[in-house]
C-alpha cells in the first residue's frame, strides 16, 4: 500500500479530497434550499492539533507496533456519522494504545499470544470503514487496546485461472485486488460503497454486500475458503466449490467481525468482466406501483445486476429527478450470451409497463472490444454520486447536518407496513430532536422473498449535541425494524452500534452457542471485545 | 401421512415396488452381460421373521412411543449399501429401543427432557433415507436409543403468496410439500433422488442437494428461517430474505445432522414452475473435451438447470449410449422470459461445438398451458432411471452385487488428477476385494470453480462378506478424495460413515468450536451421538 497520499485522520477518504469551501457552500445552499433546513453554519475542519487523546497505557514489545498519535487517531473510529462527529470535535478518548502494522501471520500469532498473556484487547482493522462501531474499543476491563492493521498484508498471492479463483490477503483493498488480478483478465467484482478503502478481510468479517442487486454481489458467495489466526491456533477451510459436510465453516467466519480471530487470507471466486449489458431507467408516478413492479421483476427470476428502486426523495437527493417520480434503475449483464441481457431487460420493462412505468430509451452495450476499467462510467451519474456520497457526508458534518443511513431486509409482505412505520417513527424522532428531517429510501438489493431497503436521513443538528440527537433517531429506526421483523442490518454489520438489536434478532440459544465457540477459540476474550457478542 | 401402503422394512421404498423375479432376472443378465461379472445368485428377499433384534432396554413413558418390532426395524438404518446388506441379512443388532412418533413440539420437548434425565440417546428420523449412517445409533454408553420420527408433523402450515415463501413442518416429504403448495400454484422444486420419502427437516439437517445443476437447487438457498427444539430450549431464526447480522444462524442449523437438536419446521422460498425450457443432449468422443466444454459453459454463467456430464460408463449404465460416447445433458429454464433459455442453450451448444460436441436436436418447450405435474416425464429417460435407481439397488443386493455411490466437489484444476486417481484406486480396491469392478461418473452439479462429480460403483460381492469388501473399497475412495483436496461429501452428508474423513477435512479449531456449541445446546450429549461430531 502506498502511503504517499494521506487519509484524513477524522473523515472519510483521502485528505486531499475533503470538499473545499466552494463545494461546502454549494452543498449548504442545496440542503437549505432543497430540504428547507434552517441556515447551517460552515465550521472549520479539525486539525490533528485539536485532538485530545489519553497517554498510551501499554507499549507492546514489537517492532511492528507504534504509539504515534496520528496512527492512533486513524485507528480510533470507523466512518459512521457518530465517528465523524467525534473525530470532528477532536474526541479521541477511545484511541487504541498502539497500532500493530503486522506483516505476517507470525506477527499476528506473536501479538495475540502477548495480548492474551497481558489482558490486552485486540481489534482487527482493515480499511477502517465500519459504520457500526466495528473497529473501536473502549478497553474497559483490559490493560490496553491494540488496533491490528492488516494494510501490509495486501497481496493477491496466487491465481488459479482454470478454476477462476484467487488467493487474496486480508488487507488488500478493492483497487489492490483489481490490480492483482488485471494480468489474468479477471476481477472480483465485489463493489461495496467503501470499495476504495475497505479490504478483503473486512468484507469477509462483516459479510459485505456488493453493488449489484442480485446474484454475484455478496462476499459470502465469492468466498471459496478462509484462513484465520485465532488465539487458539490457525484455522483454514478447504478450497471447495461446494460441500455438504456439516455446517459450512466459511459461513462461521463470514460475519464473525473479528470476535473469533483475525482473518488473514482466503480464496475467492473471480471472473472476467461481463461485456454484454442492457440498461434502462423506469419512471413511476406511484411508489406502490413501483414496488409491485420491482417485486414482480425479482420474482420473475430475471436476475438483474441492477434493480435499484429510488423513491422520489432518494431520486431528488441524487439529482436524478425532481418531479416526484420514483425511479427504477434496471441493468442486466452477461459474460457470454449477447441476447440474454437484452431479452431479460425487455421482459422486465414489459412488467414495469404493466404497473404504469415509463422510460425513454434502453441502452445495449457490447464491451468485448473495450479494455477500459470497469470503474469508469459504469453507472453514470448514479455511480459517481454513490462513490462520492461519503465525501459529502464529511462536509455535512462540518455544517451541522445530521446524516446517517440504515439498511435492512424484510419480506415483500411486511415491507409496506415497515416502510410507513419508518417514515412515521424516524420522521417523528427527527422532528422532535431537530425540528425537521428528511428521509429517503432505495432498494440496494432485491430477493424473491423481499427487498433490501436502504434509508438515508438528514436533519439539522445542534452542533455539540449531535450524538444525543443521533442516538434518539437511530433508536427509533432500529426499534421499528425490530418490531416489524426486519433485520437490524443487511450489509453494514453489527459492530457495537447494532449489538443490542442484534441480540434481540438472533435466537437466544444461537447467541449462547456463538459465545461458547468464542470461548473455545478466544479463551481470554481478547478479540474485538464489545463487537457482535 | 397415509400408512396404508407399506414401506419395505429393509430396502428402499414401497414394499410393493421391490423388483420381482422377472425384473431381477433381467437385471442379473444385464450385470453379467454388460459388465462381465461372474454369474450372480438370486437370493430370496428377507422377511420380518428373519430379523434378529435385541429386547428393548427402555420403554419411554409416552403414548407416542412404541417398541413394536416392525417399527424398530424400519428405524434401524438408512438406505445406503451397508444398510441394505445388514437389513437383507436380518442383522438388526442396532435397532433403536423405541420409536417416538411425535405430533407436536411439546412431545419433542417432553421426550428430550426425559432422555436427558435418563441418559437416553435420541436420533431424529425424517424419511430414513440417509446413505451415510445418519439415523442409526449403537447406543454405546447410553441407557437406550429412541428414534424420533417426525412423520406426523408433515403439514404445509402457512403460505405467504406475496413473498413466495411457505412454512413447512420438518416431517413433510417431497410429495406432501408439493400437495400442500399446489393450490397456490407454487412449488419448492427441491428434487433430491430421495424426494419421494425424504423430508424438509432431513434436507435442512443434511444440506440436501437438489436435482438441478446450478442456482435454485440446494436446500441451503431455499431456507428463509428454521425452528429447532434443542435440549436447552427452542431456537427460531427470523424470516429474512437476507441479513448481514453475524454468522448466519440458518447456516448453523443447515448441516447440523440432528447433533444440536430436532428441526421442527421452517420457512422456505417457493416458486411457480418455470414454463419455458430448452434442452439438448451433446455427444463427445473424448472425455476431457467434454469436461473442458462443461467447464466453459459453467464459467460462462449461463446457469443451466441441467448440466449433467455422463462419462461413457455412466451413459451405458443408464442405457443412454453404448458406443463409448460421453453425454452432456443440457437444460435451461425460465419463469418468465421465453427467449432466455433458448439463447442460453444456443450459446452453450456453441461452446460444446468448439470442443468437438455434436447433437441431434434441441427441444424448446412452452408449458404455460400445461397443468400436468412437474414430475411426469420431466427428464425423460434420465429422470425415470434416476428415480428408479434405488429400487434397482435393492435387487442388486439380493444378487450379491456390491453397489454404492459416492460424491464430492473439487476445483476444475484438481479434477483431472482426482478422477484418474479414483479410477485407479477404487478400481484396484474392487479388483482386490471382488476380482472385478465397474466405476462410472457423472457431474450432478457444476460451479464456476469446479464440478460435483458423482461416482457409481458395482462389483461382484461374496455374499456374507459384503461389508468387509465394501469397507475396503469405500476407504480407497474416501482416502483418495481427501488426498486430492476434495470434500468427503457434496450432498450425502457426514453421518457416521463419513465422520472420520470429515474430521480430516474440517479445520481442527472449527471442530472444537462446533463441539463447544453442542455442549451448550445439548449438555447431556443425547442428540444423535456418533453422527457428525
- For every residue of A512-526, DSSP letters joined together read HHHHHHHHHH-TT--
Q: Which helix H or strand E contains A109, and what residues bound it?
A: helix A105-118
Chain Cα centroid distance, residue A213 = 15
Of the residues A354, A447, A449, A485, the best mutation for testing chain B's interface (the one with the most B CB atoms within 10 Å of its CB) is A449
**pLDDT-based confidence at B382, cuts 50/70/90?**
low
CA triple A386-A389-A390, angle to 5 deg? 125
How far A299 CA sits from the closest chain B CA (Å)? 8
Domain range B276-373, CATH architecture: 2-Layer Sandwich (3.30)
Q: Where in chain A is the domain with CATH 3.30.465.10?
A: 163-173+187-269
Structure confidence by residue, pLDDT tens digits, B455-468:
999 999 999 999 99
How far apart, in whole angstroms, are the C-alpha atoms of residue B225 and residue B240?
A: 7
- The side-by-side arrangement of strands in the sheet containing A401-407 is A363-366, A276-284, A326-334, A306-310, A438-447, A450-460, A401-407
Among B residues 242-271, those touching chain A with beta carbons less than 8 Å apart: 242-249, 251-257, 260, 269, 271
B185 touches chain A (CB under 8 A): no
- Asked: is A163-173+187-269 a CATH 3.30.465.10 domain? The reply is yes
How far A155 CA sits from the closest chain B CA (Å)? 21
How far apart, in whole angstroms, are the C-alpha atoms of residue B145 and residue B125?
A: 12
* Phi-psi label, residue B380: left if phi above 0, alpha if psi -120 to 50, beta otherwise: left
**pLDDT attached to residue B337:** 83
CA triple B462-B465-B467, angle to 5 deg? 115
Region B313-318: mean pLDDT is: 95
Name which of A360-369, A502-511, B39-48, B299-308 the model is least confident about. A360-369
| Cβ within 8 Å, pair A493-B302 | no
pLDDT exceeds 70 at position B379: no
Reduced to 3 states (helix: H, G, I; strand: E, B; else coil), residue A229 is strand
A-B CB pairs within 8 A amount to 311
CB A31 within 8 A of CB A25: no
CATH of B44-149 given 3.40.80.10, 3.30.43.10, 3.40.109.10, 3.40.50.1370: 3.30.43.10
A33 touches chain B (CB under 8 A): no
Among chain A residues, CA nearest to B268 = A449
Structure confidence by residue, pLDDT tens digits, B156-185:
999 999 999 999 999 999 999 999 999 999
pLDDT exceeds 50 at position B376: no
B165 touches chain A (CB under 8 A): yes
Judging by DSSP bridges, how do beta strands A144-149 and A120-125 pair with one another?
Answer: parallel
Residues on chain A touching B276 (C-beta within 8 angstroms) = none
Region B369-392: mean pLDDT is: 65
In B137-293, beta strands by DSSP E: 144-149, 156-160, 165-169, 223-230, 233-236, 262-269, 276-284
3-class SS shares of chain A: helix, strand, coil, % to 5: 35, 20, 45
Which of A218, A256, A303 is closest, CB to CB, to B247?
A256
Residues on chain A touching B132 (C-beta within 8 angstroms) = none
- What are residue B423's DSSP bridge partners? none
B503 touches chain A (CB under 8 A): no
**pLDDT attached to residue A377:** 37
Which of the residues in chain A have pLDDT under 50? Answer: 1-2, 373-379
pLDDT exceeds 80 at position B384: no
**pLDDT attached to residue A338:** 83
**pLDDT-based confidence at B111, cuts 50/70/90?**
very high
CATH of domain B156-269: 3.30.465.10
| Cβ within 8 Å, pair B337-A300 | yes
Among A residues 433-462, those touching chain B with beta carbons less than 8 Å apart: 445, 447-452
Which of A236, A247, A447 is closest, CB to CB, to B256?
A247
- Residues composing chain B: 533
A163 touches chain B (CB under 8 A): yes
Structure confidence by residue, pLDDT tens digits, B128-145:
999 999 999 999 999 999
Task: Return the DSSP state at B49.
Answer: G
Q: Where in chain B is the domain with CATH 3.30.43.10?
A: 44-149
Residues on chain B touching A418 (C-beta within 8 angstroms) = none
How far apart, in whole angstroms, are the C-alpha atoms of residue A349 and residue A258?
A: 43
How far apart, in whole angstroms, are the C-alpha atoms of residue A225 and residue A26?
A: 47
3-class SS shares of chain B: helix, strand, coil, % to 5: 35, 20, 45
A485 touches chain B (CB under 8 A): yes
| Cβ within 8 Å, pair B510-A237 | yes
**pLDDT-based confidence at B303, cuts 50/70/90?**
very high
**pLDDT attached to residue A60:** 97
For B160, phi then psi, to 5°, come to -100, 95
Q: Exposed, middle or buried: residue B371 (CB in 10 Å: 0-12, 13-18, 19+)?
A: exposed
Which of A247, A271, A486 is closest, CB to CB, to B254?
A247
How far apart, in whole angstroms, are the C-alpha atoms of residue B24 and residue B10?
A: 17
Sign of the torsion angle spanned by Cα atoms A391, A394, A399, A403: positive
Rg of chain B on CA atoms, in Å: 23
CB A328 within 8 A of CB A282: yes
Q: Where in chain B is the domain with CATH 3.30.465.10?
A: 156-269
* Phi-psi label, residue B213: left if phi above 0, alpha if psi -120 to 50, beta otherwise: alpha
For B306, phi then psi, to 5°, come to -130, 135
- What are residue B148's DSSP bridge partners? B100, B124
**pLDDT attached to residue A384:** 72
Reduced to 3 states (helix: H, G, I; strand: E, B; else coil), residue B411 is coil
* Phi-psi label, residue A120: left if phi above 0, alpha if psi -120 to 50, beta otherwise: beta
Reduced to 3 states (helix: H, G, I; strand: E, B; else coil), residue A150 is coil
Q: Which residues of B434-467 are buried (b: 16+ CB within 10 A; e: fewer)?
A: beebbbbbbbbbbbbbbbbbbbbbbbbbebeebb
Q: What pTM was estimated for this model as a whole?
A: 0.96
| Cβ within 8 Å, pair A165-B445 | no
How far apart, in whole angstroms, are the C-alpha atoms of residue B311 and residue A259?
A: 47
How far apart, in whole angstroms, are the C-alpha atoms of residue B215 and residue A52?
A: 53
B155 touches chain A (CB under 8 A): no
**pLDDT attached to residue A372:** 52
| Cβ within 8 Å, pair A509-B238 | no
Region B248-260: mean pLDDT is: 98
B350 touches chain A (CB under 8 A): no
How far B19 CA sits from the closest chain A CA (Å)? 31
pLDDT exceeds 80 at position B380: no
| Cβ within 8 Å, pair B510-A235 | yes
B318 touches chain A (CB under 8 A): no
Which of A257, A344, A514 is closest, CB to CB, to B337?
A344
Amino acid at each position: 500500500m502506498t502511503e504517499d497520499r494521506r487519509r484524513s485522520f477524522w473523515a472519510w477518504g483521502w485528505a486531499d479530497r475533503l470538499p473545499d469551501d466552494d463545494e461546502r457552500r454549494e452543498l449548504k445552499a442545496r440542503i437549505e434550499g432543497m430540504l428547507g433546513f434552517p441556515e447551517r453554519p460552515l465550521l472549520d475542519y479539525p486539525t490533528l492539533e485539536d485532538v485530545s487523546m489519553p497517554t498510551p497505557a501499554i507499549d507492546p514489545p514489537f517492532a511492528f507496533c507504534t504509539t504515534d498519535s496520528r496512527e492512533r487517531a486513524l485507528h480510533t473510529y470507523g466512518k459512521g456519522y457518530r465517528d465523524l462527529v467525534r473525530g470532528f470535535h477532536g474526541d479521541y478518548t477511545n484511541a487504541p494504545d498502539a497500532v500493530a502494522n503486522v506483516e505476517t501471520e507470525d506477527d499476528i500469532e506473536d501479538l495475540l499470544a502477548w495480548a492474551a498473556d497481558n489482558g490486552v484487547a485486540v481489534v482487527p482493522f482493515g480499511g477502517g470503514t465500519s459504520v457500526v462501531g466495528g473497529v473501536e474499543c473502549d478497553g474497559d476491563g483490559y490493560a490496553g487496546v491494540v488496533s491490528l492493521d492488516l494494510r501490509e498484508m495486501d497481496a493477491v498471492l496466487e491465481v488459479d485461472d482454470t478454476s477462476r479463483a484467487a488467493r487474496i490477503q486480508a488487507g488488500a483493498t478493492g483497487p489492490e485486488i483489481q490490480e492483482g488480478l488485471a494480468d489474468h483478465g479477471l476481477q472480483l467484482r465485489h463493489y461495496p460503497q467503501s470499495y476504495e478503502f475497505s479490504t478483503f478481510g473486512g468484507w469477509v468479517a462483516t459479510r459485505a454486500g456488493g453493488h449489484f442487486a442480485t446474484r454475484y454481489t455478496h462476499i459470502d458467495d465469492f468466498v471459496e475458503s478462509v484462513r484465520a489466526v485465532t488465539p487458539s491456533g490457525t484455522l483454514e477451510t478447504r478450497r471447495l466449490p461446494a460441500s455438504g459436510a456439516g455446517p459450512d465453516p466459511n459461513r462461521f467466519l463470514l460475519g464473525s467481525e473479528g470476535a473469533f480471530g483475525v482473518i488473514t487470507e482466503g480464496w475467492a471466486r473471480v471472473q472476467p468482466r461481463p461485456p454484454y449489458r442492457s440498461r434502462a431507467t423506469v419512471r413511476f408516478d406511484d411508489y406502490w406501483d413501483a414496488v409491485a413492479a420491482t417485486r414482480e421483476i425479482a420474482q420473475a427470476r430475471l436476475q438483474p445486476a441492477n434493480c435499484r428502486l429510488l423513491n422520489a426523495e432518494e431520486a431528488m437527493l441524487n439529482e436524478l429527478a425532481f418531479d416526484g417520480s420514483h425511479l427504477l434503475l434496471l441493468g442486466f449483464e452477461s459474460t457470454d450470451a449477447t441476447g440474454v441481457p437484452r431479452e431479460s431487460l425487455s421482459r422486465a420493462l414489459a412488467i414495469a409497463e404493466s404497473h404504469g412505468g415509463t422510460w425513454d430509451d434502453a441502452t445495449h452495450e457490447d464491451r468485448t472490444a473495450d479494455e477500459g476499467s470497469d470503474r469508469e462510467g459504469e453507472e453514470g451519474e448514479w455511480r459517481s454520486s454513490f462513490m462520492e456520497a461519503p465525501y459529502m457526508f464529511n462536509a455535512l458534518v462540518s455544517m451541522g447536518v445530521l446524516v446517517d443511513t440504515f439498511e435492512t431486509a424484510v419480506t415483500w409482505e411486511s415491507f409496506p407496513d415497515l416502510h410507513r412505520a419508518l417514515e412515521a417513527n424516524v420522521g417523528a424522532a427527527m422532528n422532535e430532536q431537530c425540528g425537521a428531517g428528511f428521509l429517503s429510501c432505495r432498494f440496494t438489493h432485491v430477493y424473491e422473498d423481499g427487498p433490501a431497503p436502504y434509508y438515508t436521513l438528514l436533519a439539522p443538528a445542534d452542533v455539540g449535541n449531535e450524538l444525543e440527537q443521533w442516538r434518539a433517531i437511530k433508536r427509533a429506526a432500529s426499534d421499528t425494524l425490530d418490531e416489524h421483523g426486519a433485520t437490524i442490518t443487511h450489509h453494514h454489520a453489527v459492530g457495537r452500534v447494532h449489538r443490542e438489536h442484534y441480540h434481540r434478532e438472533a435466537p437466544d440459544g444461537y447467541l449462547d452457542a456463538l459465545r461458547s465457540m468464542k470461548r473455545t477459540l478466544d479463551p481470554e476474550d481478547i478479540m474485538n471485545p464489545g463487537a457482535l457478542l
